[in-house]
Chains A and B, each alone.
Chain A
Amino acid sequence: MKRRTMSILVMLTMAVTIALSGCSGDKGEQKSTTENKLSGNPVEGGSIKVGISQDLDSLDPHKAVAAGTKEVLFNIYEGLVKPDKDGNLVEAVARSYSVSDDAKVYTFTLRDGVKFHNGNAVTAEDVKYSIDRCADTSNGEPLVSAYSIIESVNILDEKTVEIRLTESNTEFLAYMTTAIIPKDYDKLDTEPVGTGPFKYVSRSPQENVILEKNEDYWGEKAHLDKVEFKIVADADMLVTNLKGGSIDMAMRLTSSQAAELTDGFHIEEGTMNLVQALYLNNDVEPLNNEKVRQALCYAVNPDEIMDMMADGKGVRIGTSMYPGLKKYYDEEYADYYAQDFEKAKELLKEAGYPDGFDLEITVSSADQPHVDTAQVIAEELKNIGVNVTIKPIEWEAWLEDVYAKRDYQSTVVGVDASNLSARAMLERFTSDASGNFINFKDDEYDKVFKEAIAATDETEQIKLYKQAEGILAEKAANVYIQDLANLVAVSNKYDGYTFYPLYVQDMSTIYMVE
């Protein structure tokens, strides 16, 4: 008995250790806009099975944080406005809206005939409740941080809601995508009710989430009757499952996975809508030296990385803005640093590191694209005498050590935007932003960013944001690489896949073909 107990203990401990070292999440990735071509005749009805890499973290749209959850919930819930495939915010639950000249009062008129999945019509009360719920500070912090500037939400009449802000904010509309839920409904965690093109049917943890068509949808109704999101935890199993037919569609495949799916599938190519870079801790030696950072930029060639890891797919970028956010993206920064080893060595010499230095790159081990990228970078940096060690860690550990404690030298990761504003990408690099995990501190940047968010004229604002992006490139805040390619495999039985400039999967546009 004693010996057996011992072996059981050892076994269980081992099971835990193995699992601990071998798992992680892959977060922070997306896709972009490409037009879809038609093939065959669309048929109404039918069902589809979509492979997703991780289970949903919550069915409550206000509490869900994982990008992988939001992409699914996008089909169930809608806000007053919602993003479209071109990166604009279009009216959803609201029919129209107006913004006061000082950008302090946002007024929304509700659309007629919008019904929740439980059959009730959406009222101004529901809208106020939903926004108040996210702005509630009784637990310390509001659910949506940006809502801390909401002064009040007022019902003007049964179809009109006004939101008053304590300070002017021209980009506040981007935050009005917050899901509208029925007032005082407390079963969102288990039986979500929204207004979207699909309604929730059931879920089984670690297995699947099933949605069905919302026949009463106010807008263009979905084509498919049923959508099943199946959790395929092991990325290596995706291709097998697609080939075997247990799933019909999967997103974010690598180019080698896509190459295997020649028969019975078409591959849609977009981008993930994120900024992949070698993020540098601007606070540690020697990376606190601007010249050292610039030297790294000159030594790394993003095109080479894309060729090595994705057959050249992906979009080269040079600052913290991705092409999907068209309005704010400035192409000119993409080639700010052209590979030049001599110049890089020169800069290192000026900075006092003529013989190079040792650099540690921490990377989340489950994110293969980032691991691959780190490996190419390691080779490239050898040319200027920088000796790289790659430290693979689990995603949860990354979150804690790198992101929260900022205890690292450099890391390869993709940073995305939570909504369609430039602010979502750029605010984190202001000196005291909580998400400024690279410890970037620059007075000029802070000043330009402040002016940008205060600007009430859009052209002026865009100009200022681009100026801020320029500072990030010029000061070499990070070694910018690319917006990763997003390859989506769709069975030839279906078509209509649409890329968005945000991390969402719009299932309503997909239809079966004859």
Chain B
Amino acid sequence: MKFVFRKLSGLIIALLIVSMLAFLAFEVIPGDPARSILGTEATEAKVQALREEMGLNRPLPQRYGLWLKDFAAGDMGMSYSYQVPVREMIGDKIPITITLTLMGFFFILLFSIPVSLLSVRYENRFVDQFFLILNQVTMSVPPFFVGIIFTVLFGLVFKLFTPGGYVSYTESLTGFLGYLILPSIAIALPKAAMTTKLFRSSLITEMRQDYVRTAMSRGNAPWRVLVHHALKNGILPVITFLGMAIADMIANSIVIEQVFGIPGLGRTLISSISKRDYPVVEAVIVLIAVVILVINVIVDLLYRKLDKRIEI
């Protein structure tokens, strides 16, 4: 109970700070949502009338308070630029970004676990050396660059997919998942490399432990010891990292959605910022913050489950 309360209050404070910062950011940067909506043809009087209608002439604390009140009541407001409820607008986008992130997570595991196990099993042998170098290279390439390379290579040279040919999940689920494979690999690769590096060294430490020697001396095969004994303990530090990796991938999806033309949360966020569409920006930011904080809680819980010694 105490745990839940502590987490919840932390979550609320973090959300308050995040949403306030976003509000402040818009106050500092130039640009006026009313003028952005009306464009160059509008007269000053028209802009002022719209500002009044949108409540932009009220002082900042009051605006923030009103937004907070509505938001707490579940009303995210109306998008300035689309004239549709924000909830409806981002509701369609959430599954896209979440799927992209989950697929990315899947690819991290798919790449990093076998590679780490192989590297540890054949430590300092050719396989290990090969993956060490490959890892170093992969780690240093940013996702958007991988994305561009993928687009040119798989899209234009091998014609395995159509660049920009995003398929909506309402249209075809397989087409949707298929299109997301390359973007999710692009965001997963650097993270997979880092995970491998961490996992490998953690496993190597475990493999030098007494319990491993005991297990070996009992005549267990090295593979069996690695998978059944060392893996469970070795994965602990990796879990923290994976939690952070998911959060990071959500941030990276903002960029990768732009590269692959995926109409997800990230693209909505960017276009809303440029249009000064506060209600949408606030909602997306708070949403991302919630997801990240929830992932943190899950990581903490997992930790406790895996290692009873850890207090949270």
Show the binding face of A for B, using Cβ within 8 Å: 1, 4-5, 7-9, 11-13, 15-17, 19-20, 22-25, 27-28, 51, 54-55, 57-58, 60, 65-66, 139-141, 145, 189-190, 204-207, 230-234, 237, 240-241, 243-247, 393-397, 399-401, 403-404, 418, 434-435
Q: Write out, one digit per residue, whether chain B residues 249-277 have a CB within 8 A of any chain A CB (1) or not (0).
A: 00100100011010100011111011110
Known A-B contacts A19-B269, A28-B40, A233-B271; the reply to A190 vs B162 at CB < 8 A is: no
B21 at the A interface (CB under 8 A): yes
Contact of A58 among B10, B83, B168, B271 (CB under 8 A): B83
**Complex CA–CA separation, A27 to B275 (angstroms):** 13
* CB <8 Å contact, A246 and B164: yes
Q: A23-B271, A207-B263 are in contact. List 11 more A-B contacts (CB 8 A).
A: A8-B293, A11-B248, A12-B22, A15-B251, A16-B273, A233-B267, A240-B152, A240-B163, A244-B165, A245-B165, A397-B30
Provide the residues of chain A in CB contact with B164, threshold 8 Å: 51, 230, 232, 237, 240-241, 244, 246-247
B151 at the A interface (CB under 8 A): yes
B31 at the A interface (CB under 8 A): yes
Provide the residues of chain B in CB contact with A22, threshold 8 Å: 270
**Complex CA–CA separation, A244 to B38 (angstroms):** 36
Closest chain B residue to A428, Cβ basis: B40
**Complex CA–CA separation, A28 to B41 (angstroms):** 11
B155 at the A interface (CB under 8 A): yes
* CB <8 Å contact, B92 and A139: no
Provide the residues of chain A in CB contact with B244, threshold 8 Å: 4, 7
**Complex CA–CA separation, A179 to B273 (angstroms):** 30
* CB <8 Å contact, A397 and B31: yes
* CB <8 Å contact, B259 and A234: yes
* CB <8 Å contact, B273 and A19: yes
Known A-B contacts A140-B49, A244-B162; the reply to A396 vs B30 at CB < 8 A is: yes
- CB proximity of B257 to chain A, nearest CB, Å: 9
* CB <8 Å contact, B274 and A240: no
Contact of A190 among B53, B84, B254 (CB under 8 A): B84
Closest chain A residue to B288, Cβ basis: A12
For chain B, residues 207 to 266, give those with C-beta under 8 angstroms from any C-beta of chain A: 244, 247-248, 251, 254, 258-259, 261, 263
| Listed A/B pairs (25) with beta-carbon separation below 8 Å | A5-B293, A9-B18, A11-B248, A15-B251, A15-B288, A19-B254, A23-B274, A60-B83, A65-B38, A66-B39, A141-B45, A204-B168, A206-B263, A234-B261, A237-B164, A240-B164, A244-B151, A246-B165, A246-B261, A396-B31, A396-B36, A397-B29, A399-B31, A400-B35, A404-B47
Overall SS of chain B's interface: helix
* CB <8 Å contact, B17 and A9: yes
* CB <8 Å contact, A23 and B270: yes
Provide the residues of chain B in CB contact with A403, threshold 8 Å: 40
Provide the residues of chain B in CB contact with A11, threshold 8 Å: 247-248, 251
Closest chain B residue to A16, Cβ basis: B25
**Complex CA–CA separation, A5 to B89 (angstroms):** 27
- CB proximity of B280 to chain A, nearest CB, Å: 9
Provide the residues of chain A in CB contact with B35, threshold 8 Å: 399-400, 404
Provide the residues of chain B in CB contact with A55, threshold 8 Å: 81, 271
- CB proximity of B92 to chain A, nearest CB, Å: 7
B43 at the A interface (CB under 8 A): yes
B42 at the A interface (CB under 8 A): yes
* CB <8 Å contact, A399 and B46: no
B166 at the A interface (CB under 8 A): yes
B296 at the A interface (CB under 8 A): yes
B14 at the A interface (CB under 8 A): yes
* CB <8 Å contact, A205 and B263: yes
Contact of A246 among B152, B162, B271 (CB under 8 A): B162
B289 at the A interface (CB under 8 A): yes
- CB proximity of B78 to chain A, nearest CB, Å: 10
B122 at the A interface (CB under 8 A): no
Provide the residues of chain A in CB contact with B29, threshold 8 Å: 20, 397
Provide the residues of chain B in CB contact with A13, threshold 8 Å: 21, 25
Closest chain A residue to B45, Cβ basis: A141
Known A-B contacts A207-B166, A396-B30, A397-B30; the reply to A15 vs B254 at CB < 8 A is: yes
Provide the residues of chain A in CB contact with B44, threshold 8 Å: 404, 434
- CB proximity of A240 to chain B, nearest CB, Å: 5
**Complex CA–CA separation, A15 to B168 (angstroms):** 25
* CB <8 Å contact, B259 and A140: no
> Which of B42, B271, B289 gathers the greatest number of chain A CB atoms within 10 Å?
B271
Provide the residues of chain A in CB contact with B14, threshold 8 Å: 5, 8-9
* CB <8 Å contact, A12 and B274: no
**Complex CA–CA separation, A225 to B270 (angstroms):** 33
* CB <8 Å contact, B30 and A400: yes
> Which of A15, A140, A393 gathers the greatest number of chain B CB atoms within 10 Å?
A15
* CB <8 Å contact, B269 and A245: no
Q: Write out, one digit per residue, whether chain B residues 40-71 have a CB within 8 A of any chain A CB (1) or not (0).
A: 11111111010001000000000000000000
Closest chain A residue to B281, Cβ basis: A16
B113 at the A interface (CB under 8 A): no
Provide the residues of chain B in CB contact with A243, threshold 8 Å: 156, 163
The 5 closest A-B pairs by CB, nearest first: A396-B31, A241-B164, A244-B163, A246-B164, A246-B165
* CB <8 Å contact, B276 and A12: no
- CB proximity of A415 to chain B, nearest CB, Å: 8
* CB <8 Å contact, B43 and A145: yes
* CB <8 Å contact, A25 and B43: no
> Which of B25, B36, B259 gathers the greatest number of chain A CB atoms within 10 Å?
B36
Provide the residues of chain B in CB contact with A230, threshold 8 Å: 164
Closest chain A residue to B53, Cβ basis: A139
**Complex CA–CA separation, A11 to B17 (angstroms):** 13
B106 at the A interface (CB under 8 A): no
B204 at the A interface (CB under 8 A): no
* CB <8 Å contact, B39 and A207: no
B98 at the A interface (CB under 8 A): no
For chain B, residues 100 to 158, give those with C-beta under 8 angstroms from any C-beta of chain A: 151-152, 155-156
- CB proximity of A145 to chain B, nearest CB, Å: 6
* CB <8 Å contact, B155 and A25: no
> Which of A27, A28, A57, A58 gathers the greatest number of chain B CB atoms within 10 Å?
A57
**Complex CA–CA separation, A246 to B179 (angstroms):** 12
**Complex CA–CA separation, A54 to B271 (angstroms):** 9
* CB <8 Å contact, B38 and A396: no
> Which of B10, B18, B30 gathers the greatest number of chain A CB atoms within 10 Å?
B30
**Complex CA–CA separation, A51 to B166 (angstroms):** 13
**Complex CA–CA separation, A19 to B47 (angstroms):** 25
Provide the residues of chain B in CB contact with A204, threshold 8 Å: 92, 168, 263
**Complex CA–CA separation, A146 to B307 (angstroms):** 73
For chain B, residues 284 to 299, give those with C-beta under 8 angstroms from any C-beta of chain A: 285, 288-289, 292-293, 296
* CB <8 Å contact, B273 and A8: no
* CB <8 Å contact, B89 and A244: no
- CB proximity of B176 to chain A, nearest CB, Å: 12
**Complex CA–CA separation, A12 to B22 (angstroms):** 9
- CB proximity of A136 to chain B, nearest CB, Å: 12
